[in-house]
Structures are given as structure tokens and as C-alpha cells.
Structure 1
Amino acid sequence: MKNYPYVITVSSEKGGVGKTTLATNLAIFLKALDENLPVSIFSFDNHFTIDKMFSIKGQKLTGTVADLLLETRGRDLLHTGQYGVNYIPSSTSLLELRGSLKGPMVLARLLAMSEIPGILIVDTRPDLDVMTQNALYAADRVLVPIKDMASMDNCRNIFELFDKRGLDRKSLSLIPCLIDERIKFEGMFKDQKTLLKAFAINRGFRCSDIFISKSPKVESLNTNPDGKIYPILTHGRGTDVYGQFTALGQDCLNEFYETEEPRAMLYDKWQHEENKRKKEEYFGRLSGLKSQCLACGKELGQDSQVSYYCESSDGGASGYMEADCFTGFLLSTIFKIERQLPPDDPTRQMIHQTALESVFVLNPGVGQEAGSIDFHRFDLAGSELLKKKYPLARAPERDGFSGIMAETLAGYEGELRDAFLMVHPVNGENPASILVEEKYREVARLKKRIAAQL
């Protein structure tokens, strides 16, 4: 059975709120509360606290979190760490990879195929860059540590991000951290945690009843003469913080046990259905192609030199043209060069190369413009480079446009449909690649952009 991680992301735009302390110690307490539960952790931050806390001396490292973003399966990157917690080593090259993350759902996809079991904790940078956004969108639960009003104001951006993307706010919860319980107020809100929770509720934020106290004992675990980072579980017994982490760990475990389908599993199911849809639509487009070259009418075979994909704006016809046929059409019909030019002729080669860098539109006139055709040339971004009007022969007479129009835009009783034909260059070695979802979507957007200019 395939494993899917239950993901807890710890995130805050403000530094110094105890984010990494929360992430690392929560991982250790989760493992202690359920020794049979796999618990893993990695960080998008570059301070290597996780490595210092969990690495085992002499351990050989095989991959980092950067490799996860480069499509290495997550399970293969897990290293057995101290306290029974698995970890993926941190990396100094994450900033270089930010540009390669195309959108905020990359990590969700990678974790869906990671086969990391149990609970995975993701520690983030103190900002909302694309990596943090990926960690937020992949999460089943997001813990946002706050210690004062400034950090609460910053967390508004995380909630707004969820609203913008249509994600459920229920997975977000604020955790008051580094709370100095010696500070008391007069009136309704008698201490920091009560005040912060009241302000959070007033802003529409979900705030946990559990909080983490400020503790000199705990602070000494991170900064000490030994230069080591000690966990609260083993070195903070007897402190309030120990009990608070126990309560937080149990709360997270309860939610984990109650979650039948973690987000990674749901994403994997969606991805499976999405791939199925893409495949069906691809084969639908493929089966709708005409089997003949739309310029000359000859049957296309494996040896055909296909260089152009053609599609009518109303979706009624689609197919390919061979390179020589379309170049010949341009030479004779558009440039009025009637003599046959050999393949190595400079003029022919120049027109052929220019055509491969252009998109063409043949748009028959309607109404008073009937009997003519507008020929357009666009660049690959959809900017018009040329427009010229040509007379269109009426049956039974024929001209250079007749064959193409008959194959693509012929309608009732031989009349041309109210549509245009777009001719787009393709990869000659794999013409069908233009029909694959991502590429075809680009073609559809280009067609829409061109239609707005006609």
C-alpha cells in the first residue's frame, strides 16, 4: 500500500518567534507519544538547526531537501536521525532553485509521490516566498507561532493567501509562543496568551488553546557552552514547556488519527484523474486530425515532413501540413513566385525559415467581404506582423487558397464557415507534441489572442 505523509507546516513571516524550536521539538514529542509512528522533518530554511539536532555522527549523507525539489523520491532521501525522528538534510542551494518552482503546488505533487510514511513536519523560512507557499499548500495542518502583536499582524498575509487560493482556513492555527507568564494585566485580559488569543479571534483567526511559555531553561538548550542543541523532551523535564509540548503533540496526533485521507493522498487522486482527463483529451484531439496534408491533400505517412499544425477557430477541422507544401503555397500564392525553386534556393530557404518562426491566419471574408480572404502573419507571441487581402476564387475556379479552404473551412453547400484557419509551426520530429495538454493550452491562448485582433 502506498504511503502518504500527513504534513504539518510551521510557518511565520516574522523571525524570532520560536518557529524552528516548535518544529523540531514537536517532531520529537510526536515520536515519543507514539513510538510506532514514523515522524520525519525537513527545513526550507538555511540555518541547519535540524541537521545539528538530528544528525548522527559519522552518518553518510545521501541527498538533501534540494534533491527533493529536483524530483528525487522523498522516501529515498530520509535519514535515520536521533530520537527516532527521520530527517532530510538541509541544503545551501535552495535559493538557486526557487526560480525552478513553477507555482505553489509543486511540493504537494512531490509529497504525493514521496511515499514518506506517518507525519512529516516542514519548517519554513521567515517569509512568504514560493517555497513557503508550497509548504503551506501541501499542509494538512499549519502552525503559525506568534509571540506579540507584530507577529500576529504578519500572519494576516498567510490567512489572506489561503483565502486567495480558496484553501480551507481550518487547517491554520496560531500558537502563542515564548509567552512570558510573569507579565500580568489588569482587566479582562490578564496575561499575554489571553490577550493574543482575544485579538486573534477578533481578526477571524483560529488560535490554539495550547501555548508555549518563555523559559530560560529551554533557551539554554539552544545556546550553551557545548555548542549543541538539546531537545526539551530529554533536557526540559519538569518545566511548563515540557507539558505544553506534550499537549500540543497529543493534539496533533488526534488530528492525524482522525484524518482518513491526508492532503498528499487527495492530491495523488486528483493527479490521477487529471492525467486520465489529459490523456483522453489528447487522444480526442489526435483522432480528430485529418489524415491528409491540408495543403496538397496527399495522405500523410511516417516519412512525411510535417512542419505545421492547422486548426480552424471553430474547432471544426484540424490537421497537418508538410513543410514543402506550405512553403510552396507561400511562394506561389502569397509572394507570386510562379517558377519552381529548388530546395537549396536561398529565397525558398529564407521563406521556409521565416515561416517556421511565424503563425499564419487565413480568414475568409463574410458579407460584403465575401469572395476575399485576409492573410495574416503573426509572431509566436501573437503580435501581428503582416496583413494582406487576396481575392478568393469561386467554384469551379480554383486558386492557391482553394485546396486549403476546402479541407478546413468548407461548410453547407460549399460555402465557407464563419471561422478562420490558424497555421502553427510544430516540431517535425514529433508533430503530435503540440496536442499535449500544456502545449495545446498555449496554442489555444494564442488563438484567442489572435481572434481578438481580427
Structure 2
Amino acid sequence: MRAMKNYPYVITVSSEKGGVGKTTLATNLAIFLKALDENLPVSIFSFDNHFTIDKMFAIKGQKTTGSVADLLLETPGCDLLHTGQYGVNFIPSSTALPDLKGSLKGPMVLARLLANSNIPGILIVDTRPDLDIMTQNALYAADRVFVPIKDMASMDNCRNIFELFDKRGLDRKSLSLVPCLIDERIKFDGLFKDQKTLLKAFAINRGYRCMETFISKSPKVESLNTNPDGRIYPILTHGRGTDVYGQFTALGQSALEEFYGTAEPRSLLFDKWLTEDDSRKKEAYFARLTGLKSECLACGAQLDKQSQVSYYCESSDGASSGFMEADCFVEFLIRAVFKIDRELSADDPTRLMIAHTAQESVFVLNPGDPEKAILDFHRFDLRGTSLLKKQYSMAVAPEQDEFTSLLQGSLAGYEGKLRDAFLLVHPVNGESPEAILLDENYRELNRLKKKIVAQLQS
């Protein structure tokens, strides 16, 4: 058997319409998969809050620790698995999931968590009857998605799942419709003789893949979920002799065939992508680090570990970047911008106010046309909202003033002339100023720069 250790093959069961047999499909498929291959690890968890998973698989007297909520909070999936009935592992359900929706920043979170989950074999994910962010994550992480349909209304709802796949650039081939709760007593005149044939024809006409296997409506099976014992019984043990038993066997065999035919599950591919992406991020980060000027852009002194760095500077053309010490930039603001000639002590209220304001602002120094010797000075808040715009005269070469001294260190071009660019000054954490160059922070900086550029050009 092909080794699947550490990287689960994920089957997601999803439908926006309730009452189509979604959870019945998920739970019984898990049991049949385990029965068809006793050596295959099979696990299941649910993003729904009805606790059917727990009722079916928890062993009486079993103490459970952790839940699917902990999975979303970065606990490794393998540490949350509990050995359940019928040999199926399960992660306990949770009522705290609605509170965690805001923590899922996009549809790729679960894919990352499962890539690092160390869960072996096949993992089945049961979803809520909607397309919320958790369902989207379950769909994105899946190698195979089973979408149960029982009528035209549930088929119409499938459109949203297919559109989501198209929007995210996912392969539609991983989506399979499974006709469920089909009443075989209903017959039609004409080309389409029964419900399953009609639903399959409509599915094919819409470009959907529909399984040959279907799940019949069965009073016997329905009684397994609603009975005086208050328990949920599986079809494997309590539905022998029914058509549904054979149908789940066929569906399980089809799923196993796809599992065995998958050389690399999506979780493994995603892990490779994460590794490669992490490597790319590190390379880009070190490239940005090595491009930094070694001296303070304001005073020209060499920067070292004792330097009180508080500002990151970058030219709009990306050709130069570096840091400035806090006192140097504040002194620049005092002299060049506020035109204060007298000395201000370290505890002077005016100096403290300017320093505090600077730490909550982003500055742009735009020399524009150097021939006019006019500089546009802008102050924005940290979200990119314009707060101030003023113009200042600049010294003409070879003369120097505070503005030209600062800009020469970052915008100097051919024959000492300033390049057609502006200098952006952004506050940083003095404890770790280089953190602004990390991938996520640097992307945010570029988004801010783009917003500022749009305002400068308007």
C-alpha cells in the first residue's frame, strides 16, 4: 500500500442545503472505508455543531481532550485524534467554532494546518450547510469533495460551490455530486425514468460531475438516526441487506480507488508549496536586508547595535533603503520642517510632541522638479490618510541644506542630481527595526505606498 504517513488525503462533504444526507454520508463513508481496508487509518471531524460525529464515534466512558477548535488554534491534528468506534478516529466537535471564524484569514488556513497535522490515511471533513469561511477552508483543503443532492433545489445550490472553485482557481474535477435520499419508487414517463437519472442528466447538462453511485431513501436507514435508544447506528452494522448498504460499499470502493491512485495528496503538495514559499520569503527578506545602507540616512553615521533606530526609509523607485536614528530624524523635523532654530533639550515639551507625532506618521519627501528647487512635504497617518502637505524651498547644488542632505543619501542620481522619485519615511520598532522587511510586513508597507502614490498622482 502506498505510504500516506503524515499527509492526509482529505474528503470534504459539503452542501449549502440542509436535509440532503450530508452528515449521514460523511459518517457512514468513514465507517465503510475502514471496513474495506482495516489497515487504513480513517479519521473524521465536523465544522457543524450538531455533535453527530461525537455521538456516533465516541466510546462510552472515553475521556476526550481537545476539539476541532484547538485544531484551528494551531494544535497539531494528530494530537487531537481520539480512537473511536468501528476503528474510525475522530476529533471532538466544538461549540466555540463561531467565535473562531474571524481568526481564519482566508481559505488556505485549514490546508496549512492539515499539511502540518501529521494525520495519516484518509480524513473526512463534514461541513455546515453554508459556504462560510470554515466551509471554504474545508473545500480548499480537499482532494475530493462529495456534494450530496436530493432534488433540483439542492442541485441549484451546487452552483455556488462550483463558482467558488472557479473564483479560487481550483480544479472542478475534484467536485463530485452524489445523489442522496433517492426514492426509487418514483418513476417518470419518457427519457428519464427515475430521480437519479433525471438529476444526473441535469448535472451533466450543467457541466457537473455526477457519481454513478447513489444513496437510496430508506426507512430502515432513517430509523438508525431516530430511535428510542437515542443513539446513532451505522449502516455497516445495522443496515445489512438494504440497498443502501451496497451503495455505500460501492461509494467507499470508488473513494479508495481514487485514494490509492493519488501519488501526492493535496496536503503534501501544499506542504511542499509552503516550504518553497518560505524559502522564497527568506531569500527576498535577506535581499532586502543586504540592500540597506549601513549609515544613518539623516546624519551619515554608521549604524550599529547601539544605534537608536526608529525610522525606515525607502525611495519610491526601490533603488535605495535604510534606517534613521530617532534623534536624527526628530532633529531634521525641528530644523527643516518646523523651522525652530533654538536648541531643544531631550525633555522639552515641543521636542517630545514632535517625536510622538512622528512615531504615528508616515512622511513623504518629494523633490519633484529639481530645477525648481521646491520640495513637497507630506504627512500621512499609518493607514495612508493625508494629514499635511507643505512646500519648502531647497538649496541648489552645490549648496546644501537639511532637505538636500537627507535626500542626497537616498535619491542621488547621475552627476549628483536627484532621481525622479520620492523618499518615504515610516516608523519602526526600535527593538527589531528589520521586522518591517519581513514578507507580511513588507507587503503591508507596499500596500501603504501604493495608496500614497495614488494620492500624490491625483
TM-score range, shorter chain: over 0.9
1:366-377 aligned within 5 A:
366=369, 370-377=372-379
Cα distance in structure 2, aligned partners of 1:448 and 1:20 = 47
1:291-370 aligned within 5 A:
291-366=294-369, 370=372
Partner of 1:106: 109
Partner of 1:27: 30
Aligned-pair CA distance for 1:373: 1.0
Partner of 1:408: 410
Size of the alignment, in residue pairs?
453
Cα distance in structure 2, aligned partners of 1:140 and 1:396 = 67
Aligned-pair CA distance for 1:396: 2.7
Cα distance in structure 2, aligned partners of 1:396 and 1:192 = 87
Q: Alignment partner of 2:380: what SS?
A: strand
Q: TM-score, normalization: structure 2?
A: 0.98
Cα distance in structure 2, aligned partners of 1:316 and 1:233 = 67
1:48-447 aligned within 5 A:
48-366=51-369, 370-447=372-449
Q: Alignment partner of 2:27: what SS?
A: helix
1:449 to 448, 451, 457: 451
Cα distance in structure 2, aligned partners of 1:115 and 1:340 = 63
Letter in structure 2 aligned against 1:401: F
Aligned-pair CA distance for 1:398: 1.4
Cα distance in structure 2, aligned partners of 1:147 and 1:255 = 24
Cα distance in structure 2, aligned partners of 1:129 and 1:86 = 25
Letter in structure 2 aligned against 1:407: G
In 2, are the aligned partners of 1:14 and 1:151 still within 8 Å (CA)? yes
Residues 183-225 of structure 1: CA distance to partner in whole angstroms, max 9, x if unpaired? 0000000100000001111111111110000000000110001
Partner of 2:17: 14
Residues 73-126 of structure 1: CA distance to partner in whole angstroms, max 9, x if unpaired? 000000000000000000000000001100000000000000100000000000
In 2, are the aligned partners of 1:297 and 1:403 still within 8 Å (CA)? no
Cα distance in structure 1, aligned partners of 2:228 and 2:263 = 45
Structure 1 unmatched ranges of 5 or more: none
Residues 233-287 of structure 1: CA distance to partner in whole angstroms, max 9, x if unpaired? 0000000000000000000000000000000000000000000000000000001
In 2, are the aligned partners of 1:7 and 1:122 still within 8 Å (CA)? yes
Aligned-pair CA distance for 1:365: 2.2
Compare 148-157 and 386-395 and name the one that shifted more.
386-395
Structure 2 unmatched ranges of 5 or more: none
Letter in structure 1 aligned against 2:427: P
Q: TM-score, normalization: structure 1?
A: 0.99
Cα distance in structure 2, aligned partners of 1:417 and 1:138 = 48
Letter in structure 1 aligned against 2:95: T
Aligned-pair CA distance for 1:450: 1.1
Aligned-pair CA distance for 1:449: 1.4
Letter in structure 2 aligned against 1:161: L
CA RMSD, Structure 1 to Structure 2 (Å):
0.9
